[in-house]
Structure 1
């Protein structure tokens, strides 16, 4: 299938102050976050994207705008509600230092598959909706643009971690082992038999190889293969 570049939004005012923003309206990138998003947009400028799909939340739409400003073409720009932030319910807007004292905090850390946020959603439901959306969109863009198409999805930390865990064949209970920093890039190529996780939590490096990358092979390269052109 096509190649998806998962981009976390840049740092926000809530990130900087230790607040769990969740789906709170009006949470924007701070100065650092705008710089991060611009650098990521510049880094992706060497890759002609067929689409930049964004979570509906403002911090993701801001990050998407920086990416689009560096694109020469005119990628599609759909908003996808299924990759929006986790519904943290009553936890939303609370300081992380206070939430760390809650009994549920330990569940989120060690057994997230059992975590259900009071007044919100479960982490299992979060993963199910986001993975389903990414796989659906990936198949759609491949059908429209061919198996070498590259597209970006701009979303949130826990969302991207859960998508990566699925692609890696990891149980959700292990997804806290994955780090996804602000404005980082993670790359998945969904092949016919298995996903190929090309990169995770990347904030630097040349991505121009994606411009002419061949479609994913059906079989994994035994011994590791020759790498990117």
Structure 2
């Protein structure tokens, strides 16, 4: 019996004007920078996705635009999904990272699983939302299908930590640069169940 050939690729969206300005976007949005538009299109050509690929994306514009550019060379249309959105940072949304560095409450919000920003989500809630959706997508498609998901840095870090069998700690898990690809065998997604 042959091994299944499906892969899981999670890609962080391209760099935005807010990324460049050091602003925490969360559920808000900002345009992709011109060089990110070109790099996303190039990544689409490099990945050389085939008809045995399904492309999903957060429905936030920065992710969805990135997904369209990545899918275009292979004529793949991304499927937008609100369950793949970035963490809701509540009242911290649109704060500058330089200001957050001086906020005594921010380290706990950023690193503790059950710390909730005012009007926002805990890391545990983000993990539950993202992992549940990825498991649903994994189960919905043949194991030979490559599943590509365009998402956000908090989600990317949580998934990477779990698939590498360690819990997320923002001090240990580096923030992925824009357009970073997290590659794994599709079968690895089944391990997310251990964290639910």
**Residue 190 (structure 1) shift:** 3.9
Aligned to 1:140: 140
Task: Give the unaligned 5+ runs of structure 2.
Answer: 192-196
- Aligned in 2, Cα 1:22/1:179: closer, same or farther, shift over 3 Å? closer
Residue among 11, 14, 18 paired with 2:22: 18
- Aligned in 2, Cα 1:51/1:19: closer, same or farther, shift over 3 Å? same
**Residue 179 (structure 1) shift:** 3.6
- The answer to whether the 8 Å contact 1:7/1:186 transfers is yes
- After superposition, what is the alpha-carbon deviation per residue over 1:160-191, rounded to whole angstroms, capped at 9, x for unaligned? 11111122221233674244110111112243
- Higher RCO, Cα 8 Å, sep 6+: 2
- Aligned in 2, Cα 1:67/1:19: closer, same or farther, shift over 3 Å? same
Residue correspondence of structure 1 range 107-122 to structure 2 within 5 A: 107-108=108-109, 111-122=111-122
- The answer to whether the 8 Å contact 1:41/1:68 transfers is yes
Residue correspondence of structure 1 range 1-229 to structure 2 within 5 A: 2-25=6-29, 27-72=30-75, 75=76, 77-108=78-109, 111-142=111-142, 147-173=143-169, 176-191=172-187, 195=191
Rg comparison, structure with higher value: 1
**Residue 122 (structure 1) shift:** 0.4
**Residue 59 (structure 1) shift:** 0.5
- The answer to whether the 8 Å contact 1:41/1:67 transfers is yes
Number of equivalenced pairs: 188
- Aligned in 2, Cα 1:153/1:46: closer, same or farther, shift over 3 Å? closer
**Residue 34 (structure 1) shift:** 1.1
- The answer to whether the 8 Å contact 1:37/1:63 transfers is yes
**Residue 149 (structure 1) shift:** 1.1
Structure 1 ranges of 4+ moved more than 6 A: none
Q: TM-score, normalised by structure 1?
A: 0.74
- The answer to whether the 8 Å contact 2:147/2:186 transfers is no
**Residue 47 (structure 1) shift:** 4.4
- The answer to whether the 8 Å contact 1:36/1:182 transfers is no
How large is the RMSD of aligned CA atoms in angstroms?
Answer: 2.4
Query: Aligned partners of 2:103, 2:67: CA distance in 1, in Å?
Result: 34
Counterpart of 1:103 in 2: which secondary structure? coil
